[in-house]
A and B are shown apart, each in its own frame.
Chain A
């Protein structure tokens, strides 16, 4: 019931197929994608890198916490690595449950926690410089 992966390219159909469950009446899918601006400047692309074995382990812990907190049928976390262009998906979080409320809440919990604890780093490429996001206060 847990599906965790780091991939080069996210395939959204795969997420939907995995989350389907005859007992699930609600499926939540959060898709994080590359935005074309940050800090008031144009973003050309993003680059992601991960401490892969630890990132997988931390994502599994989050999925486990979600399962303990909400009655979920399926949990899916897929994060992309490498260079991503504007508009491309970089992370997909999916939850399915009997009722939508649990799917909504757990999905939000997972993306919020992922951003705080999972060892993945994002570099923003602007036209004039590159910045590792969150690195400095």
Chain B
């Protein structure tokens, strides 16, 4: 890839508020120094004398400390401009570099190379609850938090009533914050930031806490700020919210900017990329998912996700022949090889009509017969809600349990006329006799559901406001 992505003839747009120029961020993996001064001095002394570093790990590659294996390119050559009043969404899977990018724009850490230029006051809301002190009351914390965001006392006093009203904390405002619920914390945190009137607002996953009503309020507020000319950079896994708020989005993948365009297009392509074979997200530990899974009471699933997260750091680069964290050892009873979605005629595709049955196929290699083998499939919508889950051993033992070693297509069909149009991702896992997850595949496949059947669908009025939007049989009986 070209080192500089700035177009030569790029129009110099005076309304550009944020200009990200060729930003790279490199982390050295492993040890930074050895932690104590004595050891660092020892190493330095040994190096200057040309000897061997007594503190170097035995398996450390000789000399080339900066060889590629030790380096993680968290961001590579990121370039984009954001105009005044624009809302830019940043999407990508976990570890793609979204948060690092925001941290750099916020000035919390410096890029390894490149620069970010900003016009105007920046407020960053990278974590809503941070900056609060549990022993202080809500009132005192409002002033404290606002000050950490660069707001003066006078400004806060002017906005105080509005902030309290927005946060819906009401009479608890003089209670120490340690007695607040997580939702109250989130609400107050966002309320303060939302009333800053910054010129640039950086927002990272603020929608995680708080209830649905509050989320809508947050989006409304961000929209209003944007209409007032505030530039918003928005990172979220809630793609639906992102769609509502941002007209433009960029997509990051492994630290590279792979797309910049209209939000709808970028999100669609993101889902298409998820559905591509080989784009395995199984190493992706998304804290959001834990809650989703926990909500379904599926403990084993949750536990396994945790181990996967633990392994995440180690798998900065995963190659095909290396076993990914969370995958079973090759001598496990079965493993997932891949998967796809297809229609009734067996045509693989990613876009389905509301009226079509969708068949999901998981390609599974059974390595040895195991009577406990079973699997579970879940459909997740673009806001990370688990829409449905299905277990293959609900009524009788799974067919996998009786399978002789070999490679199988394991098919399950989702009936038509069930879900509302939108983007969905299919997660799949195989479990052993103790309901322990042997392997899970996040985004086994992904699909888009379009409605060109129903009257509303044909009018383009897709959203019925519910995820499950089945075609039900309505009956009208005259009471006589």
Same complex origin of A and B: no
